[in-house]
Amino acid sequence: MDSSQRKWLFISVGFSLLVLVIILFLTINEKTITYLREINPLFLILAFLTHILTMCFWAWRVQKMTLSLGYRIGFFYSLNLVFANLLAAAITPAQAGGEPVRIHELYKANVPLGDATAIVIMERVLDGIALAVLAAFSMIFLTSQWKSLSMISEIMVYITGIFVAGCLFLFYLAVQRPDMVKKVVSWCTQFFTRTWESKRVEALLARADKEIDNFQSATIRFVHTAKGGLIWGFLFTLLYWVSEIVTASLILVGLGQPPLVLESFVIQLILAILMMMPLTPGSSGIAEVGATSMYALFIPASIVGVFVVLWRVVLYYFNIALGIMSSLIIVRREARKCQ
């Protein structure tokens, strides 16, 4: 990890810790101790294991989508790829830093750069579609839970629509109008490389054009000849998000609270969409404040702070630990290749 990454990691973690400390200060009282005595560690351990299962669903998604394009990677390689992306995702807005890591690791597994890019971008598209499907399902069948969140739910309906429409529009441009994408890339490249030699800029633009073409062809293959990859990818995407949502209910039960399965389903959908927007590194602060404000409507204030801390430990700090572990494995792998 270079100095820039360490800086953003400290900023992201530091901001998250600061917000958590403030939340605990505002919510802890004499009743908190009583609630803490009812903790069931078995369910807290189960929450960690469920989160690991969530990462396995992600790894299977990558593996199946890669296989559908004709490239074979092992499950544990795919799982380590997912773990490695968690660290970068934790220190970048909208978790965008994870994408280059996944692309790089797929490229290291002999997947051409254009195909690797298509796989990773298609993952994002499937995430957007899956969240839209789950949100639509919850809005139709869980109307009372949405209404219990008052104005927040109405705002999130519009945000969800804009988010999904934006994802689909970008996907459309990349597939149907690659010429437009090439013009935008060319303009951005020339703007940010004004001090470079002309030959170097031309080489970079030529490579970018080639990879855009590769991405388009790979995407067309997904739609026309690799439908199995999309089907498997969508299935594991749904399992990924459902598993991630269930984790919060397990933590609630571990704290002696009702699981709030339906309410938690709605809240976690809202938080998932918020956390995919480029607001803060790793969604630090946004996730903590959002979870506190919504769960406080359903569980006692004296325990909501503890719940949010445990929720972030499982879904954020644990991710950082997994990412560091995976990064060390990759560094050792690369070091062996250089010997």
Backbone angles phi, psi at 187, to 5 degrees: -65, -45
Distance in angstroms (rounded) separating the CA atoms of residues 173 and 1: 34
pLDDT at 248 (0 to 100): 94
| Angle at the Cα of 67 from the Cα atoms of 273 and 85, rounded to 5 degrees | 40
pLDDT at 96 (0 to 100): 61
Q: Write the single-letter amino acid at 147.
A: K
Q: Which two tokens stand for residue 273?
A: 């969409």
Distance, C-alpha 242 to centroid of its chain: 13
Backbone angles phi, psi at 92, to 5 degrees: -130, 145
Instruction: Please name the residue that has the structure tokens 């594991």.
Output: 236
Task: Please report the sign of the dihedral spanned by the C-alpha atoms of residue 247, residue 252, residue 253, residue 259.
Answer: negative
Task: Please report the sign of the dihedral spanned by the C-alpha atoms of residue 173, residue 176, residue 179, residue 185.
Answer: positive
Q: How big is the chain, counted in residues?
A: 339
pLDDT at 335 (0 to 100): 79
Q: Count structural domains, the chain.
A: 1
**Helix, strand and coil in the chain, % to nearest 5:** 85, 0, 15
* Rg over CA atoms, the chain: 21
Q: Which two tokens stand for residue 104?
A: 């790089």
Task: Please answer whether residues 222 and 69 qualify as being in contact, where contact means their C-beta atoms are separated by less than 8 angstroms.
Answer: yes
Distance in angstroms (rounded) separating the CA atoms of residues 99 and 94: 11
pLDDT at 71 (0 to 100): 92
Among candidates 233, 248, 331, 335, which has minimal Cα distance to 290?
A: 248
Cut 0.85: pTM above it: no
pLDDT at 146 (0 to 100): 65
pLDDT per position in the chain (339 positions), as tens? 566 667 778 888 888 889 999 999 998 888 888 888 888 999 999 999 999 999 999 999 999 999 998 899 999 999 999 999 998 888 776 566 678 889 999 999 999 888 888 888 888 878 878 887 887 777 776 667 666 666 665 666 566 667 667 666 766 777 777 788 788 778 877 776 777 777 777 887 887 787 777 777 777 777 777 788 889 999 999 999 999 989 999 999 999 999 988 888 888 888 887 777 666 776 777 888 888 888 988 899 899 999 999 999 999 999 999 999 998 888 888 777 776
pLDDT at 38 (0 to 100): 83
DSSP characters over 268-336: HHHHHHHHTSSSSBTTTTHHHHHHHHHHTTTS-HHHHHHHHHHHHIIIIIHHHHHHHHHHHHHHHHHHH
Q: How many CB atoms lie within 10 A of CB 159?
A: 15
pLDDT at 306 (0 to 100): 93
Distance in angstroms (rounded) separating the CA atoms of residues 136 and 157: 9
Q: Which two tokens stand for residue 126?
A: 């499937």
Distance in angstroms (rounded) separating the CA atoms of residues 54 and 32: 30
Domain that holds residue 271: 3-338
